[in-house]
Each structure stands twice: as C-alpha cells, then as structure tokens.
Amino acid sequence: MPQYKAPLRDIRFVLHELLEVEKHYARLPGGADLNEELVDAMLGEAAKLIETVVAPLNRSGDEEGCTWSAEGVRTPKGFKAAYKQYCDAGFTSLSADPEFGGQGLPPSLGLCVAEMAASANNSFCMYPGLTNGAIACIGTHGTAEQKKTYLPNLISGTWSGTMCLTESHCGTDLGLLRTKAAPNADGSFNITGEKIFISAGEHDMSENIVHLVLARLPDAPAGTKGISLFIVPKFLPAADGSVGKRNAVQCSSIEHKMGIKASATCVMVFEDAKGFMVGEPHKGLRAMFTMMNVARIGTGMQGMAQGEASYQGALAYARDRLQMRSLTGPKFPDKPADPIIVHPDVRRMLLTQKAFAEGSRALAYYCGTLADVVYQLPGSPEAHEAEKMLELLTPICKGFMTDTGFESTNLGMQVLGGHGYIREHGMEQLARDGRILQQYEGANGIQSLDLLGRKVLANGGATLRTFTNEIDAFSAANEGNAELKDMALELRKLTKEWHELVGNILQLAIKNPDEAGAASYDFMSYSGYVTFAFMFARMAAVAQKKIAAGSSEADFYRAKIYTARFFFQRILPRTRGLVQTMLSGSENLMGIADAHLAF
C-alpha cells in the first residue's frame, strides 16, 4: 500500500517561488500578516494530521464502504473520528468569513490542504469538499438571515453540505429537471422530487446536512431559465441555531460503485420538504454555479492528487524491485538484478507521472490565486479580470487534469506490473477512485464544449487572447536566455497556432455547429498541454535563477528544469496529433448512420 507523504517541498515551491504568494496575499483583506513561515507552519500541521489520521483509513474505508439502512448511512470505521479531528484542527474553516467563525485565509491555501487530503484519502476529502461549496454559495447568494443561520455550523464542520442537481432522466441537461417547489404563505417552499448521485447526501459524521437543491416554481419557464435554488436542511434549524425538527428528506439508497466507496453517493427523496430560496426566482443555476465552479477546480485538483499518490507508490516500488539488467550494463553489480528504475520505459512512465503532478499543481494553485481575488475582492476591477481568466481555465483544470490524473494512475499500476493489479499494493484503488473524476461535476465532454463554445468562441477568443498575451510576454522575456530559448520559441509558436485553430473551428462551425462539437475534446486537450507547457517554462525559469544564485538545493531545481524539458520533448508533441484530429471535421463522426453503428 503506498505510504502517502505530503509533497511539502513542491507545494512550497509553487506557492512561494513560482506564484510569489506573499505579494499576492498582501493585496487581499487581512493578507499582510501571511508570511512564508506562517503558511509553511499551517501546511505542515495539515500534513501531519492527513498523513497520520486520514491516510491510514484509505484502504480500510475502500474495503468496508458505506452502509445504508432505514436509519441512515454509516461511514466506515474511523471516518467519524477523523472528520472531527479535521474539523477541530480548523481545516474546514480556513478560507471562510471570520464574521461566521472562519479564519479568513485565502481560498488558495484551502486548496493546498484539500490536495493533501485527496491524495491521502479521496473518499474522505469529498465530505469537507462539498461543504466548502455550500459555504461559498450561501455566502455569496444567501440572505443575511440565511448566512447567520447556516454558515457558522457549516464552517465549523458541525453541519455539512451537498449540492442536489441531477435527476435520473436528465444527467447534465438540468433544463429537464422535474423537482417542484410549491410556495407557502410563510415564504418557505415545499420541495418534492428525487435527486441522484448526491455525494455526502446522508452520513453519520455531522449533526445536520444542508442540501442545496435545484427545483422549479409552479410558474417557471421551461429549460434552464426556470430553475431556482433552495436550502433544504435534513433537520430544520431551531430558533437558537441548534438542530430542530426532522425535515421530509430521506436517502432511499446509496450507489454501489467502482471506487470512492467510503464516500456516500445517495439517491435523495424530497416529499414536501421545507426549503428556503437562495437568490432570485428562476436564477438558481447561476447561483449554483458559484458552488459548481469551486467544485470543478477541486475536482481537477483531485485528479492531480490521485496521480501524485500513484507516483509516490510507483517510484518507491521502482527503486526497490529488482528485474533484469540495465541495457547499458549492470548498475548494481552487487545485486542479482538491477532495480527497474534503470529501464527507459519505467523512466518514461515515472517521468510522465511526475510531470502531470507538477504541471497540475502549478495550474491548480494558479487558479486558486485567481479565486482569491474573485472572492476576497468582489466588485473590484481586479476581480472582474480574474473571474474571466478563471472561467477560461476552470474547464481546462477540471477536464484536462482529471484526464491526466487517470492516465497517471494507470501508469502507476503499469510500473508495478502484475503487482499493480493486486489489491494489497493499493495502486488499483487509486485508479478506481480517480476514474469518477472525469465524469462528475460535468463530464469532461461537457467541459470541452464549455471551454470551446462558451469561453472561447462566444467572445471571439478575447479571454484566450488575454491569457496568450501573458504567455507571449514570458516568451519574449526569455528568447535570449540560452537555457530557456527553445521553450520560449515553442510557446510563441503554440500561442499563434492556438488562435489559428480557434479561427478555423469558428469558420467551420458557422456552416455546421457539429464542427465545434467534433473539435471540442481535442481542443480542450490541446489547451491543457499548452497551459502546462507555460507552467513548466515558468518553473524552469525560477529554477534557473535559484541555481545561478548558488542555492543549496541545486539538485531540486535541476530536477525542475529536467522535468520541464521532458514535458516539452516527450509530452507536448501530443499536440501535433490533436491538431490533425481537431481539424479533420465532423463527417468522420456524424456521417455514419445511427443504424450502421450496430454493424
């Protein structure tokens, strides 16, 4: 079983050296006191708890799973106590509003803790992760009374949260949902309907569960324009803020799944359950997207986290497993065979895992700093610009990072050979737990349509141009740098090509909208590889400066430069095939008759 160790050195590198977060924090409310020492101490404490309390429950939680009964859902042994320790240590309140008991720290720091929790135990991290989304949604769109009633308990972890979106007949097409909201004389609503795939919809770790439910009012227009959002608590809050009367909401069953078995995935039934509207009528989907965007960045981070855990397990095994001799002669002549880490194909797999983990971490944390500005400087010009950039990068973060995360877990299994397929080594669990990430919070096909259609084509590539201008400025500054010149020139070519692809797809889509759909997934993957390349070039530039300054950690920084070169030379060329398939048109997909697919 992989023994998870939080990659604190690399986390510190991305925060302090790549993103220079101290300068970033200084412009945020209360951020002036956040120095490197304080941040590192907080992350160190989180790592200790996660490594010693959360990680040991990963395998046992997978084996036991959650248990449903008419009385409720029981989480695996040890989860309830670990959750209490996690909450008591303050990790559910890190980024929340101090007015309601939060610590007021930037959301980007909460993302770092969430990464460690997800690598250690992906099922466990689902519970506080969903609650964070509920906090963001109510904090942004709730009334003063709703915030006062729900936020203190959600922030402390005493209560937990969910988001209840989809139904069995509609999947991602929420315009088809049927759950009803009937108004009451007292301003509340009776919510009736059934929701599926509700993570943490029922469990035994918190006193109350606050469901955020999408439903339709009696006069609602059809489609997504007729959806409203409601708070529907499992127990109605009493006047003093404690748990009161049981509401008419029940978990009718839990799903039997491929992975994340210790995370309760529930079918929730609402039978005239009392609910309270969040935001304005018929604008619930917009309010819910506050929660969904937080969740999508978190999901992308979970993909990276599974890949990181798999890399750690694969690397340890490759250093220890003896098999065959190196092609260039024995490297360990005192042993009967060489460790498999000397073989080129094993190096290929390990370096791919390493590159995906480090590229993903840089992108996720960069998105975290954008979220800091959006949520902590609302209404400011900086927040407006950060929000546009975050909207562009969120589908890349969610879609591409879960794709590469799953690829990484499969590579981890392959490094172990037959042992990777055996349960006792834990590698197959990481693959199973990571597979769902490509499907939930909007399947990656939906992410690709969102990226190409809404975030790029809809504004003629204007937001993309803002991002590529940033990349081009970096390239221009480093084209005279002998060590980075090749990377800078390649980035310049890629940003030019990126916009040419947008123009070509737009022209094709004007004549036939299927052309955009046919190109979208390849476009998302292309965008991911180019974005990672930018992150790696920036990391290499930082590492080069540290080496030149005589750092005592020169080996760490050399590894950064080497990994960047590996990415540019071995992984980035995947974009060549993506360009070809992206521009091959929709006929090779749509031309075959539906009936002919059966032959």
**pLDDT at position 173:** 76
Strand intervals (E) in 172-285 = 180-183, 189-199, 208-215, 228-233, 235-237, 243-246, 249-254, 265-278
Backbone phi and psi for residue 249, each to the nearest 5 degrees, phi listed first: -130, 135
Question: Which is it for strands 159-164 and 208-215: parallel, antiparallel or unpaired?
Answer: parallel
Asked whether 149 and 286 are in contact (CB, 8 A), the reply is: no
**pLDDT at position 1:** 66
Q: What does the DSSP 8-state code read for residue 453? A: I
Asked whether 228 and 217 are in contact (CB, 8 A), the reply is: yes
Backbone phi and psi for residue 251, each to the nearest 5 degrees, phi listed first: -90, 115
Numbers of helices and strands, H then E, in the chain: 19, 11
Q: How far apart are CA 157 and CA 50, in angstroms?
A: 17
Q: Which amino acid is at 105?
A: L
Per-run averaged pLDDT (10 residues), the chain, 599 residues: 91 98 92 91 97 98 96 97 97 93 92 97 95 91 96 96 91 84 96 96 97 95 92 94 93 97 97 96 83 82 97 97 94 95 98 98 96 91 94 96 98 97 95 96 93 94 96 96 96 98 95 96 98 98 97 97 98 98 95 92
Question: Which is it for strands 159-164 and 249-254: parallel, antiparallel or unpaired?
Answer: unpaired
Asked whether 227 and 167 are in contact (CB, 8 A), the reply is: no
**pLDDT at position 444:** 95
Active site residues: 441
Backbone phi and psi for residue 511, each to the nearest 5 degrees, phi listed first: -80, -35
CA nearest 71: which of 250, 259, 211, 234? 250
**pLDDT at position 242:** 87
Q: How far apart are CA 90 and CA 88, in angstroms?
A: 5
**pLDDT at position 291:** 65
User: What tokens were used for 530?
Assistant: 């180019």
**pLDDT at position 141:** 93
Q: Is 461 left (phi over 0), alpha (psi -120 to 50) or beta?
A: left
Is-above-0.75 flag for pTM?
Answer: yes
**pLDDT at position 26:** 93
Q: How far apart are CA 287 and CA 324, in angstroms?
A: 58
User: What tokens were used for 438?
Assistant: 């490509």
